[in-house]
Amino acid sequence: MDKQTAAGGGRSDDNHHPDHHQQEGPIEIALVGDLTDREAELTDHLLNVPPGGECTLYIDSPGGSPYCAISLTTIILLRKLRVTGIVTGECSSATLWPFAAAERRIVTPYSVLLFHPMKWQSEENVGLAEAAEWARHFGDLETEMDTLLQNLLGIPAATLQDWIRPGRYISGREFAASGLAELIELTGLSQVARRNGAPVNHGASSGRSPVRKARAQQ
């Protein structure tokens, strides 16, 4: 079993065995992929964190259902979890709410955050009255969620609306410059690893580190 499974699974018999050693450090959870597809799993991971406890969310997600976003965010807030959110790749759409609820937010220059208006679709053969009611509800939900996101980030409503409409990709560097997260330079981390004698995984035949190689391809 890998570290993530042990840390995030949370419901195995080993975790409840009297001889099971308490995990050192915060529980680590991978918030990767579509939120909707992984809602049950992610909910279980968060519930495995004791109320008031710490966890680290590694985020690379295009988003998902707004209801899933609100549910995960509600669990974080109601249980007063001390979350460190790290955007390792993409943090878009519905994923923004759990990230905004994090007590500490970390991005890299390569992180990207997509803000855009909520999108919705309904099943086929929906009656006109039902469609009208859904549109009304969705409009109210979008307004309430935008207000929540604004409050969690602590930014002016005008700033958020400028990002949402018509929709903007915000780089990790820009997000950090707005005072909303800490910026971690990956190149600096690789240099620290070298000074500490830790092995550094270089690119194949080119001899360049993965970070330098990625920058060269941009």
The whole-number mean pLDDT for each consecutive block of 10 residues of the chain, a chain of 218 residues, reads 41 41 79 94 97 97 92 97 98 96 97 83 62 71 89 94 89 96 85 58 40 32
| The predicted structure's pLDDT at residue 210 | 35
- Give the residues across from 106 on adjacent strands: 86, 182
Give the Cα separation of 85 and 102 in Å (integer). Answer: 6
| The predicted structure's pLDDT at residue 125 | 63
From 7, 5, 71, 61, select the one nearest 35 (Cα to Cα): 61
Q: Contact, 180 vs 207, CB < 8 A?
A: no
| The predicted structure's pLDDT at residue 76 | 98
Q: What is the dihedral of CA 172, 51, 1, 193, to 10 degrees?
A: 40
From 85, 126, 103, 110, select the one nearest 186 (Cα to Cα): 110
Q: Contact, 149 vs 170, CB < 8 A?
A: no
Q: Which domains does the chain have, with CATH numbers?
A: 3-184 (3.90.226.10)
Cα angle, residue 72 at apex, residues 54 and 4 outer, rounded to 5°: 50
* End-to-end Cα separation, the chain, in angstroms: 35
166 preceded by a cis bond (ω within 30 of 0): yes
Give the Cα separation of 78 and 107 in Å (integer). Answer: 25
| The predicted structure's pLDDT at residue 191 | 62
Cα dihedral across residues 60, 66, 68, 69: positive or negative: positive
Give the Cα separation of 189 and 208 in Å (integer). Answer: 15
Give the count of beta carbons closer than 10 Å to the beta carbon of residue 29: 23
**Cα within 13 Å of Cα(207), Cβ side:** 0
| The predicted structure's pLDDT at residue 25 | 82
- Give buried/exposed letters for 120-135 (b at 16+ CB in 10 A, else e): eeeeeeeeeeeeeeee
| The predicted structure's pLDDT at residue 126 | 63
Give the Cα separation of 181 and 153 in Å (integer). Answer: 10
